[in-house]
Amino acid sequence: MLRTTLAGLRLHKARYVTTALAILLGVMFISGTMVFADTLEASYEESVMGSATNVDTIAVPAEQQDEAGRYLEPEPLTEEHLEQIRSLDEVAAADGVVNGHAVLLDAEGRTVGSVPPLGVSVGEVTRFTAREGTLPTTADEVALGTTTASETGFEVGDTITLLDPDRQEREFTVTGLVNFGIDPEYGFGGAVVMTEDVARRMTGAEGFGEIDVLAAEGVTEEHVTTSVAALLGDAAEIESGTAYGERLAGQGGAQSAILRISLLLFGVIAMFVASIVIYNTFAILIAQRQREMALLRCVGAKRGQVFRSVLIESFVVGLVSSALGVSAGIGAGFLGAWIGGPLLGADVVAAVVIDPNAILAGLLVGTLMTVFSALVPAIRATRVSPLAALRTSATAAGLEKGTGWPRVVFGVLTFVVSGVLVTGVRLIGPHPMNLFVVTGAALLAFLGVVVLGPLLVRWCAGVLGLPLRRMGVPSTLAVDNSTRNPRRAATAMIALTVGATLITGYSVVSATVESTMTKILDDAFLSDYRIDPQYAPEGGGADASVEEGAEEEAGDELPVDFSFVPDQVRSDLEREPSIESVFGERHDYTESDAAMEESDGTIPVTTYNGAEPGTDLTADLVEGDLADLGPGTVILSEDFAVDRGVGDTIGLASPEGELEFEIVAVAEDMQAFFGATIITEDYERIFPEGTQDSSLMIRGVPDADPAELREAVYSSVDDHPTLQVGSDTEIKNQFSEMMDIAFYTIAAMLGLAIIIAVFGISNTMALSVLERTRESAMLRALGLTKAQLRRMLAIESVLLCLIGAGVGIVLGVVFGWAASIAVLPNLVFTFPGPQIAVFITVAIVAGLLSAVLPARRAAGTSITGALGSE
């Protein structure tokens, strides 16, 4: 029996080609994902560990908290700490690392980043190495972090400009590039590496943010780490170089683990679609081979032997296809790491990692899924009566049954329950748990599609076939063929329906999120341009926009160190004819009886100096009118209003005591108004020193030339390099571009499921053509030309693809909308018309491609030979 099974496989191997491709693609994705993630993790570890183990011990200032448990800026380590460490017998050498923010100018003379990059010093003992070039050794040299170099375009040998704390420009030569990898302290905002003296001069930082230690000869890493820890006590957090590297590598591993899981989800989807293709292939093949199975039974094969022979076929097909998929996955995984690693902030420095688990997972998933998918067809093969099968022709009997009333009732019930769940989500409103409800509803609806598939095929083919029947004999025959075996058509269609549902649903969610966020951004961005100072975190760095005495004006109680826009900039802007209005934003915190518990009793207070509420300032309101804002009144955001409304009052602390303000409007959350918004005169009563704008908003005249407006805005900040100009339109465009990139990336991954589904339809068409060989010959004998036969099969395939895609599009739109309302407040539903049109076009093209080879085979078959065969 085994020899017979293997001989059958060799004889009919062409029938399994598309099935093998479906398995190969799914396994390739899974194994490739594991190789990709393993290689990325190894690169993270090699990069981080190589850096950290350059030293034996790393000491950083200990974190501190106040009595309320709030985080405080750590006290830097001192020169005295460094000398004490150097005096230890266990220490061969030690150097401190100066950390402070250094203001870097780009090629156009503007500051780089909304937060200045870190200025980092290196000494004789350092864990940092240059990936390209060398580390700085003189007062006129610096090295750049690779992320900073990438952002600015600077290379080794270039001259760059930094601002010192006195706002003076200093030029340096770039001697090297340092890859800080996933180290969050340096990797996020970038870094400029300097000698210690230069770092102190350019950042104004005091003390050390880190001390690196080398152990004396014969002293272990653990021993020197213990000695340094005992010396510094609570003043520092001490780790060995190995422990530090392992911790950072673990963080990188966590990132790649999340990526691994996300990608494997797409692999699972691909394998699920492949399983449908496998099931359909074996179901058709077993139905077509009923006479062969019956003959085996007649010559002595038992039911168990027939059952095992089918499973052996599936096992061999699955194993060979999975092996090919694993091989392809290894190459795809390394290619993905090589291309995607830099995008994730990691250079692939490790050789490709081929973990045995990646190989075993691919082989097991592909093989077991193939065998499992063939179980039902194998069971059917054992139920055929030998004599009854010998009396039938070689057709796929057993797949021609329709849909009985019990299936119809069950299918309708699944749709009803699914609809009830979606309605409940709509009534409850946005909540994270609603996503699980929507997922359950979608699975129920999909189950209904599976159960009612044959009916859906008949109905859809009937509707789509109305115009086709008027287009000639081939079209009419194609419509009739598509409804002849609705169960087979429905099974082939389901694979495409899964992919179309997922892509359409994601398209709906993506388009809706983009529209909703665009509306939020439109409400939040009140102008054409915005000018903000570069934010300099506490602890060092130059800020050229801080005017004389501004530090005192900011006060000591601010949770955030705000700086200000010079008044001269506003004056220059107001004189420009292309600018309609300029208004400033000022904000601070004060105590209030309306503050939320998590805000420590304070509430953010904002005023828009020179703006007219209701005209310059707009927002969606819960109640009230923005235009009513005036002396002694306030606009509250909904989260701070809590149980208060229009007409109620709130108290705001001021030097005069608590001031009462009447609420005239409550704005929805995520709008232009956050906390309490009052007029400028009242703001200055609460904050007498708050007389400077922390940012400016500029709106051009309606018919202003965009280039002229842009030039006017940028010209106003020429003498203030740390003032950063942002275009609200550009910000919204950047957001749209990010959404588009995310959409096309995920759509491409889901597209794998579509490709596998198309293979399934192509296989179904090929097997159908094989089954209908005599029928095709008869049509040719009756006068159907080769071109007409090819057209008939192409239209039949397109119909099948359109039905599968159409059902998927409907489900995708419904559940994409349901998923959006499950989590998004103030939803702006958007129907992705262009994407849907693309999907329909793809379905038509896929149908045509699926029919190419089967149609050629049918048209090339000998008429007399086919009619003469039994």
493 three-state secondary structure = helix
382-396, 588-602, 849-863: which range is least confident on average?
382-396
Q: Which carries the bigger pLDDT value, residue 200 or residue 738?
A: 200
Q: How far is CA 44 from CA 145, 249, 802, in A?
A: 17, 6, 46
Q: Tell whether pTM > 0.85.
A: no
Report pLDDT digits (tens) over 12-45.
Answer: 666 677 788 888 888 988 888 888 877 777 766 6
Q: Contact 769/858 with Cβ under 8 angstroms?
A: yes
Q: What is the DSSP string of 738-776?
A: HHHHHHHHHHHHHHHHHHHHHHHHHHHHHHHHHHTHHHH
Q: Contact 275/495 with Cβ under 8 angstroms?
A: no
Among 195, 263, 255, which residue's Cα sits nearest to residue 34?
263
How high is the pLDDT of residue 670? 66
Q: Which long-range contacts (CB under 8 A, 24 or more apart) does 164-173 make?
A: 164/201, 164/202, 164/542, 165/202, 165/203, 165/204, 165/541, 165/542, 166/542, 167/542, 167/544, 169/105, 170/202, 171/140, 172/136, 172/140, 172/141, 172/142, 172/198, 173/140, 173/141, 173/142
How high is the pLDDT of residue 536? 61
Segment 255-284 mean pLDDT: 77
Segment 426-452 mean pLDDT: 84
Report pLDDT digits (tens) over 428-437.
Answer: 877 778 888 8
Segment 356-368 mean pLDDT: 90
Give the H or E element holding residue 468: helix 453-468
How high is the pLDDT of residue 824? 76
Average pLDDT, the chain: 80
In the chain, pLDDT over 90 holds for what percent of residues?
Answer: 18
As a whole number of angstroms, the distance between CA 633 and CA 613 comes to: 12
Check pLDDT > 60 for residue 560: no
How high is the pLDDT of residue 86? 93
Bridge-based pairing of strands 159-163 and 118-121 is unpaired
In the chain, pLDDT over 70 holds for what percent of residues?
Answer: 82
pLDDT tier, 559 (very low <50, low <70, confident <90, very high otherwise): very low
How high is the pLDDT of residue 674? 84
Q: Report how far apart the first and last C-alpha atoms of the chain are (Å, whole number).
A: 25
Q: Which carries the bigger pLDDT value, residue 604 or residue 517?
A: 604
Check pLDDT > 80 for residue 206: yes
93-97, 201-205, 720-724: which range is least confident on average?
720-724
How high is the pLDDT of residue 540? 44
| Burial status of residue 210 (CB atoms within 10 A of its CB: 0-12, 13-18, 19 or more) | buried
Q: Contact 661/649 with Cβ under 8 angstroms?
A: yes
Report pLDDT digits (tens) over 771-807.
Answer: 677 777 888 788 888 888 888 888 888 888 888 889 9
Give the H or E element holding residue 50: helix 17-52
How high is the pLDDT of residue 6? 63
How high is the pLDDT of residue 663? 93
